[in-house]
Structure 1
Amino acid sequence: MDKLFVFDTTLRDGEQVPGCQLKSDEKLEIAFALESLGVDIIEAGFPISSPEDFKSVSLISEYIKNTTICGLSRAVEEDIDVAADALKKATNGRIHTGIGTSESHIKFKLNSTREEIVERAKHAVKYARNRVAEVEFYAEDAGRTDNEFLARVVEAAISAGASIVNIPDTTGYCLPEQFGEKISYLVNNVPNIDKAIISTHCHNDLGLATANSIAGILAGARQVECTINGIGERAGNTSLEEVVMIINQHKHITVSHDIDTKKIIPISSTVSEMMNMPVQPNKAIVGTNAFAHSSGIHQDGVIKNRQTYEIIDPEEVGATGSEIILTARSGKAALNFHAKKLGYILDKEALKIAYKNFLVVADKVRCIEQSHLHDIFKNTKVYA
């Protein structure tokens, strides 16, 4: 199986979310957790952006030794120099440099031409390659870049020394079919593409970041750039946990990874707490409701066999197990399940009476507590 390199940018793109800024020691703590999780590359920051970010990249480079440490830069010599200085102590250091390639970026952001963009891309990669052993090139806004020109820029970057070429859907614009076709186009039309790894970096503006990343992997990308909990600019980035578990569930996606999935929930909680970024309850894999069941039909199925409504074993991602939540939508099976947990034995008639009493309470309170259940069962004249 082909190896899929997992590139985590929680500490760079994820930290760009307002209110999520971290100090260098906090970044280091998360970096240790990411290393333990099994990510291949940690994008530790954007060194030229601030003294604290330079310090963070330097600190992480000094202490994290089993994972490649990456620093971001623009296609500017000063950026590249600062990134290289920050990475001096890295066992495996990488500079991630690049430039916008879409018509929008070339015309309005960079006030440039296609020819100038190609030359600037080549110069940045060559310059960075003289400072570090490994250079990744990003074509910003590749999602909205004409494929023919994108292929031209990618070929130039590889010729200049880039061993990884990042194809970002910077604005989250692409549909999965479009993004997959873009990766396929590069595989088939860039003469030297065999000399580099294609990477995806998808944003979630239309809720398609993970789907686009999977489409890219199926088309030949072998690095995926993602974040814990999908945090990132605007609507966020591709979620690491979603990509990994999709690959685990769908065996026809013939790539391997080194992620220890049992550490997903713990690192999700750490990142959420340290970056002051709550995880939405219905978030896939790591949300508090990801393995919770409150509908009577679902509860009955899960009680009989977890796989009827869960395709992932909660323990596989570090969760404690499935949860049967009692609400007014719950059925007799769920009530009897909780009765047994509390030590009450209900025959068929007692369960029927207890359930009627339960519904009266459930319609009045938002959350059913154990005290409510004890009252219900005692009033039904059943005993522990």
Structure 2
Amino acid sequence: MTETSQPTKDKIVIFDTTLRDGEQSPGASMSLEEKLQVAELLDEMGVDVIEAGFPIASNGDFEAVSEIARRVKNAVVCGLARASANDIDRAGEALKHAHAKRIHTFISTSPLHMKYKLQLEPEKVFEKVIASVTHARKWTDDVEWSAEDGSRTEHDFLCRCVEAAIKAGATTINIPDTVGYSVPEEYFALIQMLLNRVPNADQAVFSTHCHDDLGMAVANSLAGIRAGARQIECTINGLGERAGNAALEEVVMAIRTRGDVLPFRTDIKTPMLMRASKMVSNASAFPVQYNKAIVGQNAFAHESGIHQDGMLKNAQTYEIMRPEDVGVKSTSLVMGKHSGRHAFKEKLKDLGYELGENAFEDAFKRFKDLADKKKHVFDEDIDALVSDEMGAAGESVKVIALTVIAGTAGPQMATITLDVNGTHITKMSNGDGPVDATFNAIKSIIPHEATLRLYQVSAVTEGTDAQAEVSVRLEEGGKQVTGRAADTDTLVASAKAYVSAVNKLSGNRGRLNAREAAAV
């Protein structure tokens, strides 16, 4: 897709905003390297437009958008900008090396937002619509304009703004359901109304951007394309602020599966969906719920005897999609301590992972260690193991050893050894329980002022030998980060998850200095 190309009648443009709107989820910040990996995968997968970030938000966002613009080969790279010249110029600078670029500028148009958020009269907002689109056109012919809180905007005013934006040069018009307030019939009518009432509506592509506050983001997005919109803004796993956005994988597979009522197509290579889901989940530290549509681990699992009987006779009795169409193989390898490298590699492929040689060897060693502790190693165990391994890659601090003394008598003590940039440091601390003592010992090596906002333990599988998966959320200076780790020892998993979160905090301040840490 080039900067000026228009979709065909049945083609739906997939605009992915995982790296912009998705990253706005509290605790979902990604490193530059993680953003680049996600962007390259989205590009390979066939996403039409990648919204790479909000360049004026920070130097880090500007650098990420700039580097993504250099690396992406096929997709249009998009930068977000408010309706101001500074925002638009910053986005233009970040995108200047892209082979195809888009500036996405927006302003609120609902009475509520104009009065309380912008504190501007409607006529002033109208002027800013024209000025912002006109300015963005100086940087690129591909300009998208969004009416923030469009679903709660008065229709007459919305029509005026849309007409003016198109006249000023906007080639895409986005109508966000910013707070997830709409229902499908209402959103269908809104898009249809704009296409019928705006005189120059045929000169732009209309787009949906729906949030999931009432659980209807995907339904509203599909209603929008049925009404005539030809672009859907979405994210991998539905990642996004508050309750999230329309999930890319759900939108794409709904279109593919229900062609009878959704006679459209996308260019997404659907067998890559599971891989993309896992990558974003690991990068953002946001786990995918077990019963998540399309990419949840139970999406193609059948435990009921009646379901199993039906599946054995004809898979279509209980599956409306083939697992392989989204990157999941229907066959299952039983894994244990006698399994070799080849079987383990095939299992990883079944689960949607593609690891480099070094990462594979590390994961295989951890698998063999786990298999020695557990009688059965389930898919969920391997998922947790590899996710833990991928999460730890590149971290400056790692857990080397942990010894804990706990019980009803005497103080609870923890002695931990951390690898800080290659230097091993050991500290001992006490606390109100073994977890508190462990966290205190870590904090004595890596001092910080973060507050523990969440400590959550869940079993990955059933049984007393199940792996524990621990999530730790820390908050410092208004920023929240989440660390996750899994181990058959709950305290070890807790230490690893806490260290993972601390690594993310320290990444914002620069790499930890081992000498300084050792001197504490």
| TM-score, structure 2 normalization | 0.62
Question: What CA distance in whole angstroms lies between the structure 1 residues aligned with 2:167 and 2:61?
Answer: 31
1:183 maps to amino acid:
I
Identity %: 54
Matching of residue 105 in structure 1 with residue 143 in structure 2: no
After TM superposition, give the deviation of residue 3 of structure 1 in Å. 1.3
2:280 maps to amino acid:
V
1:42 to 40, 50, 60: 50
Matching of residue 268 in structure 1 with residue 277 in structure 2: yes
Matching of residue 147 in structure 1 with residue 155 in structure 2: yes
2:328 maps to amino acid:
A
Deviations 1:7-38 (A, max 9, x none): 00000000111111112222111100000110
Aligned 1:242-261 pairs, distance under 5 A: 242-252=250-260, 253-261=262-270
Decide which moves more: 186-195 or 16-25: 16-25
Question: What CA distance in whole angstroms lies between the structure 2 residues aligned with 1:142 and 1:323?
Answer: 47
What residue in structure 2 maps to residue 349 of structure 1?
A: none
What residue in structure 2 maps to residue 204 of structure 1?
A: 212
Question: What CA distance in whole angstroms lies between the structure 1 residues aligned with 2:463 and 2:315?
Answer: 23
SS of match in other structure, 1:165: strand
Q: Which has the higher contact order (CA 8 A, sep 6+)?
A: 1
- Contact 1:14/1:232 (<8 A) preserved: yes
The gaps in structure 1 that reach 5 residues or longer are: 325-365, 370-384
Matching of residue 131 in structure 1 with residue 139 in structure 2: yes
What residue in structure 2 maps to residue 305 of structure 1?
A: 314
Matching of residue 316 in structure 1 with residue 319 in structure 2: no
- Contact 1:74/1:97 (<8 A) preserved: yes
After TM superposition, give the deviation of residue 368 of structure 1 in Å. 8.3
Decide which moves more: 185-194 or 18-27: 18-27
1:321 maps to amino acid:
S
Question: What CA distance in whole angstroms lies between the structure 2 residues aligned with 1:214 and 1:133?
Answer: 28
What residue in structure 2 maps to residue 90 of structure 1?
A: 98
Question: What CA distance in whole angstroms lies between the structure 2 residues aligned with 1:175 and 1:223?
Answer: 18
Matching of residue 233 in structure 1 with residue 241 in structure 2: yes
After TM superposition, give the deviation of residue 288 of structure 1 in Å. 0.4
Aligned 1:169-208 pairs, distance under 5 A: 169-208=177-216
2:36 to 13, 28, 36: 28
SS of match in other structure, 2:297: coil
2:11 to 3, 7, 15: 3
What residue in structure 1 maps to residue 77 of structure 2?
A: 69
Matching of residue 12 in structure 1 with residue 20 in structure 2: yes
What residue in structure 2 maps to residue 79 of structure 1?
A: 87
Deviations 1:145-199 (A, max 9, x none): 1222211111110011000000000000000000000000011000000110000
Question: What CA distance in whole angstroms lies between the structure 2 residues aligned with 1:310 and 1:125?
Answer: 46
After TM superposition, give the deviation of residue 120 of structure 1 in Å. 0.6
RMSD: 1.6
Question: What CA distance in whole angstroms lies between the structure 1 residues aligned with 2:307 and 2:331?
Answer: 12
- Contact 1:202/1:225 (<8 A) preserved: yes
| TM-score, structure 1 normalization | 0.83
After TM superposition, give the deviation of residue 133 of structure 1 in Å. 2.2
What residue in structure 2 maps to residue 219 of structure 1?
A: 227
Question: What CA distance in whole angstroms lies between the structure 2 residues aligned with 1:312 and 1:322?
Answer: 15
Matching of residue 292 in structure 1 with residue 301 in structure 2: yes
What residue in structure 1 maps to residue 382 of structure 2?
A: none
Question: What CA distance in whole angstroms lies between the structure 1 residues aligned with 2:107 and 2:331?
Answer: 46
- Contact 1:314/1:322 (<8 A) preserved: no
Compared with structure 1, are the counterparts of its residues 185 and 264 closer, same or farther at alpha carbon in structure 2 (3 Å cutoff)? same
What residue in structure 2 maps to residue 350 of structure 1?
A: none
1:317 maps to amino acid:
V
- Contact 1:293/1:323 (<8 A) preserved: no
- Contact 1:11/1:27 (<8 A) preserved: yes
Decide which moves more: 300-309 or 207-216: 300-309
SS of match in other structure, 1:293: coil
Task: Give the strand-richer structure, 1 or 2.
Answer: 2
SS of match in other structure, 1:119: helix
Deviations 1:195-235 (A, max 9, x none): 10000000000000000000000000000000000000100
Following TM superposition, the consecutive aligned residue runs of length 4 or more in structure 1 with deviations greater than 3 angstroms are: 366-369
After TM superposition, give the deviation of residue 65 of structure 1 in Å. 2.1
- Contact 1:292/1:323 (<8 A) preserved: no
After TM superposition, give the deviation of residue 323 of structure 1 in Å. 7.5
After TM superposition, give the deviation of residue 237 of structure 1 in Å. 0.2
